[in-house]
Structure 1
Amino acid sequence: MSQIVEHVDFKTYITDFKSHLHGLFRSEYDFNTLSLSRDLPVDFLAKIMDKKPLSVAIPTMFGGRGVNVKECLGVLSAASYESLALSLMFGINIALFLEPLAKYGTYAVQERIFKKFLDEKAMGGLMITEQAYGSDALNMKTFYQEIEGGYKVKGEKHWQGLSGAADFWLITARKSTANGDLARDIDFFVTDNSNPQEHIPMVERYNNLGLYAIPYGINEIDITVPENQKLTPESTGIKLMLDMLHRSRLQFPGMGLGFLKRLMDESFDHCQNRIVSGAPLSNLDAVKYQLSRIQAAYVICSGMCHYSVEHSGIDKDLATASIEANSLKALVTDLMQESAQISLQLSGANGYKLNHYAGRAVVDSRPFQIFEGSNEMLYGQIADAILKLMRKAKETNLVKFLASYVNTNDSIHYFSKSLDFNLDYTINQRDTVTLGRMIARVICFQFVLNMQGFNNELVEIARQHVAMDLNMFSGQFLSQNSANPLFDYSSNSDWMNFV
């Protein structure tokens, strides 16, 4: 059994890990230069992994630190302070490979793979997405057939982080029936890329816009896996997938927190030291507003992390936790992108350099609003779920319902004027997205309130910005915008004809 850092208390471990990353990113390597190149240098990544950061997502019985959510989020946050791409690499490994393997894998496979992670710095990932079926995962065409002693899996996947680089994969596929149809349910298989029968080649690499450290591309699957490498769901494979994806979404704030803190620290430092007309830039009222937006995002994300620790462990069944999981993922990633845009704006022309922290932050945080469910889709799902609960409760007033909902019953009282309107349950899609944006903010502010002893001045900053956002979204929701695009717009649309 591997012996690692499990006997070191986490406060000592994470302090040492942060110092280790700081030295690597700021002194030993010029990460501003590295950020312009594809992939992390092998020796650089090896030094990062010397501290065994992924041990936080490995059970103690296999030599890990115990799959403690607080520790997982701490590692993600420490990484994202230095590099959002590195944190995403860790997030993929933790939430989309190690945690599901720890919960649903067979003992023999767990023992072998966890040892590889601890002793040989292995990496793992998840393959769900297909070119014709992005968020429509239930219609995936990758299929499997049972054979003697195992399964034959065939298909194609794309946009998997660590394509061509991960040592192990979780692959999703649907069972091929006797008549050639594919079953509705989805199954998961663990693959070992070092085994020729399980090797999955990346046949095309994408030239991704950001997150240069992570390879993405098209992966061709034509493999045979042993019987014990199929995950065992507690009920159905679809529920396993929902449990896994909701857990991942609930842990997004770990990646967000370090990133937001770095943006806040960099922006504060710049604005306090940049002199304009004889005074610091931070003296300007409009700048104070922008800086407080970033700080509010940091506070809200802190509340999300606090909630996630209590509710996203592998001992929890999260298959039905869509409202909270979608709220955390969608809102934190929106806050990450907005904060990066503010930081770039405050940095002036220098911020637009690709190797400037704010410039990289804008590009690297943008796909977080898209992958694991686009935010518009998730906000719509939040609203649809709440509307369903309101119909069941025979309640039409949004404030009255949220006052009775478990994760808004305290926070709604701060925002009741903005949300005191009735709903008729038949809302068009664009308005459900707006409604979801509002509900997510009320939910996540309650998580801020739940942090007993947290700095009251910071909580008030967050409250003011949430209240402002809700007023804005309320006006948008009540505006009854029904504009649709005119696809054949050539008629009378050239301004030069009217001069």
Structure 2
Amino acid sequence: MRRTVYNEDHEAFRSTIREFIAKEVVPVYESWEAEGHPPRSFYNKLGALGVFGIEVPEEYGGAGETGFKYQAVVVEEAARAGVTFGSSGVHTGLVLPYIMEYANEEQKQRWLPGFVSGDIMTAIAMTEPGAGSDLAGITTTAKLSADGTHYVLNGAKTFITGGVVADLVLVVARTAPYDPADRRAGLSILCVDTKSPGYSVGRKLQKIGLRTSDTAELAFTDVKVPVADLLGEEGKGFSYLAHNLVQERLAIAVGAYAAAAAAVRFALAYVKDRKVFGQTVAEFQNTKFTLADCQSQVTAQQAMVDQALELYQTGELTIADAAELKLFCTESTSVVVDKCLQLHGGYGYILEYPIARLYTDNRVFRIYGGTSEVMKTIIAKSMGL
């Protein structure tokens, strides 16, 4: 189905990204998977290409674009090639909106130029061993010093994407005692320099997918965080987190759609080439019906994604809209990728084939950014249930 969501500038950017991936990513991707993340120099290359600065105002070194369309192009092209860009999606898709919305001018001047160039890589630390989707249950504490110059941070986080290579981590912590009557109160976001004494990176977690995206455990032992590194206002952390969920879920949905489209593309190429019983796999009716069904699912996802990108551009994409989008795209993609892997037969289970990576990478789409069950709860609530 013809797309109208992108203009000529977006498509020119797409060509640049596609060429960059073919030259700088595909030839070395296996080494990234073995290491668990891309080399630091790769992030500087993304910075030089302008990927990190698309939505950053020109005064801080960026391009000053609005919306999510350019980032969506990056996501689509990476999936098309069967690769990922390490933790760069968190850097631009999750962390940047917080800095742009809540950082003061001094903080923006201090952080954004390095953010754009890739000299400062970022992550966000919300999840704790005992508090996953229940962010109100966060127990990491940040107590203001007696002289009021800094916070003393103590606690632990887990499942932190980019936690191994990050230079600056947005840490959600309690700056006020837990109040059972208002569990969401008292949370703040501190921007923590990872070179701070008492800050430590624990295990680099081994995942079944997204193996070029470093995921780590973090620990804080009496880490001193200057009050100048408090993001926004103290105690407003929970509302800040809710503010960015729409874009986060939009990004996940775009990634899921792109993975499904890539799966169909890989499967189509494979079945046309692979021969069994004297004919190509593509000639069997089951193959034709399976791929037709998968393509219909991809087209439906595309329609939802494109409308969501337009609505987000105008500020009209709601929390419920984003929940529906994420739920449909991630659940649909899981079916499409599974069927496309099945068409590869035994080769679909071999990692040298990109469909195998899509299969394992895709599984987390239904978990992070809020599980499918959480999405259903949000949608039901929007229906008055």
TM range (shorter): 0.7 to 0.9
Aligned to 1:14: 14
CA contact (8 A) 2:95 2:122 kept: yes
Alignment partners' CA distance in 2, 1:279 and 1:233: 66
Identity %: 20
Q: 2:115 aligns with which of 117, 121, 129?
A: 117
Give the stretch that moved more between structures: 14-23 or 124-133.
14-23
TM-superposition CA deviations, 1:291-344 (whole Å, max 9, x none) = 12332232233223323323335x8497xx332121122222222322221121
> 3-state SS of the aligned residue for 1:39?
coil
Aligned to 2:78: 79
Distance 1:13 1:184, change over 3 A: closer
TM-superposition CA deviations, 1:447-495 (whole Å, max 9, x none) = xxxxxxxxxxxxxxxxxxxxxxxxxxxxxxxxxxxxxxxxxxxxxxxxx
CA contact (8 A) 1:128 1:157 kept: yes
Aligned to 1:413: none
Aligned to 1:416: none
Distance 1:203 1:178, change over 3 A: closer
CA contact (8 A) 1:52 1:121 kept: no
Distance 1:292 1:145, change over 3 A: same
> 3-state SS of the aligned residue for 2:133?
coil
CA contact (8 A) 1:128 1:137 kept: yes
Q: 1:336 aligns with which of 333, 336, 339?
A: 333
CA contact (8 A) 1:174 1:182 kept: no
> 3-state SS of the aligned residue for 1:56?
coil
Relative contact order (C-alpha < 8 Å, sep 6+): which is higher?
2
Q: 1:373 aligns with which of 354, 370, 382?
A: 370
Alignment partners' CA distance in 1, 2:236 and 2:316: 13
Matched pairs, number: 373
Structure 2 unaligned regions, length at least 5: 1-7
CA contact (8 A) 1:243 1:317 kept: no
> 3-state SS of the aligned residue for 1:173?
strand
Aligned to 2:205: 206
> 3-state SS of the aligned residue for 2:171?
strand
Give the stretch that moved more between structures: 14-23 or 57-66.
57-66
CA contact (8 A) 1:84 1:364 kept: no
Aligned to 2:349: 352
Question: Is 2:55 aligned against 1:54?
Answer: no
Alignment partners' CA distance in 1, 2:111 and 2:127: 24
Match of 2:12, as an amino acid? T
TM-superposition CA deviations, 1:237-273 (whole Å, max 9, x none) = 3222111122210222332343233212111111222
CA contact (8 A) 2:128 2:157 kept: yes
The equivalences for 1:187-206 within 5 A come to 187-194=188-195, 196-197=196-197, 200-206=199-205
CA contact (8 A) 1:159 1:218 kept: yes
Alignment partners' CA distance in 2, 1:46 and 1:364: 24
Aligned to 2:63: 65
Distance 1:336 1:303, change over 3 A: same
Match of 1:370, as an amino acid? I
Deviation of 1:234 (Å):
12
CA contact (8 A) 2:124 2:170 kept: yes
The structure carrying a bigger strand percent of its residues is: 2
Alignment partners' CA distance in 1, 2:209 and 2:335: 16
> 3-state SS of the aligned residue for 1:85?
coil
Aligned to 1:261: 261
Aligned to 1:439: none
Distance 1:337 1:69, change over 3 A: same
Aligned to 1:491: none
Match of 1:200, as an amino acid? Y
The equivalences for 1:483-498 within 5 A come to none
Distance 1:317 1:155, change over 3 A: farther
Match of 2:193, as an amino acid? D
Match of 1:163, as an amino acid? G
What value does the CA root-mean-square deviation take over the aligned residues?
A: 2.9
Aligned to 2:245: 245
Aligned to 2:96: 98
> 3-state SS of the aligned residue for 1:251?
helix
Distance 1:235 1:69, change over 3 A: farther
CA contact (8 A) 1:38 1:214 kept: yes
Alignment partners' CA distance in 1, 2:11 and 2:47: 18
- What's the TM-score once normalised by structure 2's chain length? 0.86
Distance 1:304 1:170, change over 3 A: farther
Alignment partners' CA distance in 2, 1:32 and 1:351: 17
Alignment partners' CA distance in 1, 2:254 and 2:88: 11
Q: 2:359 aligns with which of 339, 362, 366?
A: 362
Aligned to 2:4: none
Alignment partners' CA distance in 2, 1:210 and 1:330: 20
Match of 2:189, as an amino acid? F
> 3-state SS of the aligned residue for 2:36?
coil
Deviation of 1:73 (Å):
1.3
Match of 1:356, as an amino acid? Y
Match of 2:115, as an amino acid? F
Alignment partners' CA distance in 1, 2:320 and 2:371: 15
Aligned to 1:469: none
Match of 1:206, as an amino acid? L
Distance 1:331 1:351, change over 3 A: same
Alignment partners' CA distance in 1, 2:200 and 2:79: 29
Give the stretch that moved more between structures: 257-266 or 182-191.
182-191
Alignment partners' CA distance in 1, 2:364 and 2:322: 18
Alignment partners' CA distance in 2, 1:215 and 1:96: 15
Alignment partners' CA distance in 1, 2:111 and 2:77: 25
CA contact (8 A) 2:72 2:254 kept: yes
Deviation of 1:116 (Å):
0.6
Deviation of 1:288 (Å):
1.8
Deviation of 1:205 (Å):
2.3
CA contact (8 A) 2:176 2:235 kept: no
Distance 1:308 1:64, change over 3 A: farther
Give the stretch that moved more between structures: 183-192 or 266-275.
183-192
Alignment partners' CA distance in 1, 2:193 and 2:316: 27
The equivalences for 1:350-499 within 5 A come to 350-388=347-385
- What's the TM-score once normalised by structure 1's chain length? 0.68
The equivalences for 1:157-176 within 5 A come to 157-176=157-176
Q: Looking at CA atoms only, which structure, 1 or 2, has the larger radius of gyration?
A: 1
